[in-house]
Amino acid sequence: MKVLYYDCFCGISGDMNLGALIDLGVDQEYLLKELSKLGLDDEYEIKITKDIKKGISGTKVNVILNNQNKTHNHHSHRNLEDIVKIINESNLHNNVKKLSLDIFLKLAQAEAKVHGKPVSQVYFHEVGAIDSIVDIVGAAIGLDYLKVDKIVASPVQVGGGFIKCAHGILPVPAPATVELLKNIPIKSGIVPFETTTPTGAAILAANVDEFTDKISFLIEKIGYGVGNRDLNIPNVLRVFLGNEEQYEAKEDQYILETNIDDMNPELYSYIEEKLFESGALDVYRTTILMKKGRSATKLSVLVNKEKEKAVQEVIFEETTSIGIRKYKVEKIMLQRDFTKINTQFGDVTVKNSYYQGKLIKKKPEYEDCKKIAKEKDLPIAKVYNVINEIINKQ
């Protein structure tokens, strides 16, 4: 699985993102050619250079307005409808159009929420200005070019202090940036400046599948997009392109555990059935010695977040326990599928398990073997032996 990872230790802006994607390997000439399909070439030019911040070399992208646009700047009041028309009437690839419009819609909705207006009535720099159009459509072109399967990002550094904008002096992060970063982990205060812009936040909000500090893939390429400020940390956006092996599925689950020394052992069978009915993924018991040499049973239940409450209720209502320990575990599972094989007993379901794309295990399903043993009045071990012999010959 091809993965793109945004390391936002110094935030993200539209131009830093463009620089990072080019530095990572997005073809510069291809990017410029695709951007020209917007039909806005007379309004701007793009300057792409190499730059260094705190000893880190990267790519810097500047969108320079032409003289006429600097003087009149009438296009800075384009609204979302104008942008949608420009993009849809262009010859850009359909996926690039979709990615671009997803980002613009996120940005427009955030600004509309902040200013208390319908999206259709929002006229503002972040959507209308030509540099933001280039940054956002350029981001879509770059992401489409890389064709990654998954986009991941670190928690986003937003900076601190205050920023001067068209609406006056505002705290960092700006209101639109905060709106865009809702439910996204952030960090703040590393420098007394804005490090994440609304455009940068919108790019992340519209495209990132997961936010985490963990890098669980093989890094193959690294790119740096250089920002405009000279700070006491490198003002760069770092991106990684890597490969994540998806042969094992990982899922966060929980163990609910309790020690019981005062309950009739006959009740456990019934309680286990109730636990499975309530959503337990696994139930097991361990004989233990507690304080003062008392024999006891440790009841352990594996459960996911959705079924945790129901399972907890069974433990409290059906056992003598008055307390439960809970801890998070990561379950790693091989990829699996099921096939049917024909045997002398009829069709039997076989579970196949794969590691790194290779079939490594096959086993008949217990319930099928149990049913055959009862119907044929055979020892279940003999049923297993016959079926395994067929499996091994395949």
DSSP string, 40-90: -GGGEEEEEEEEEETTEEEEEEEEEE-HHHHHH-GGGG-BHHHHHHHHHTS
| pLDDT digits 0-9 by tens, 141-154 | 999 999 999 999 99
**Euclidean distance between CA atoms 57 and 84, whole angstroms:** 36
Name the phi and psi angles at 240, rounded to 5: -115, 140
| pLDDT digits 0-9 by tens, 211-265 | 999 898 899 999 999 999 999 999 999 999 998 865 456 678 999 999 999 999 9
Report the DSSP pairing between strands 44-53 and 56-65. antiparallel
| pLDDT digits 0-9 by tens, 111-162 | 899 888 888 777 655 445 788 899 999 999 999 999 999 999 999 999 999 9
pLDDT at 66: 83
Q: How confident is the model at residue 61 (pLDDT cuts 50, 70, 90)?
A: very high
| pLDDT digits 0-9 by tens, 285-332 | 999 999 888 899 999 999 999 999 999 999 999 999 999 999 999 888
Q: Which residue has the tokens 């008949």?
A: 364
CB-CB contact of 222 with 15 (8 Å): no
Query: Cα Rg for the chain, rounded, in angstroms?
Result: 29
Mean pLDDT in residue range 171-200: 94
pTM above 0.85, yes or no: no
**Euclidean distance between CA atoms 36 and 53, whole angstroms:** 30
How much is the mean pLDDT over the chain? 91
**For residue 166, pLDDT beyond 80:** no
Residue partners of 59: CB distance under 8 A and separation at least 6: 19, 20, 22, 23, 48, 49, 50, 51, 223, 224, 225, 226
| pLDDT digits 0-9 by tens, 25-57 | 999 999 999 999 999 999 999 999 999 999 999
Within 13 Å of residue 216, how many CA atoms lie on the same side as its CB?
12
pLDDT at 122: 73
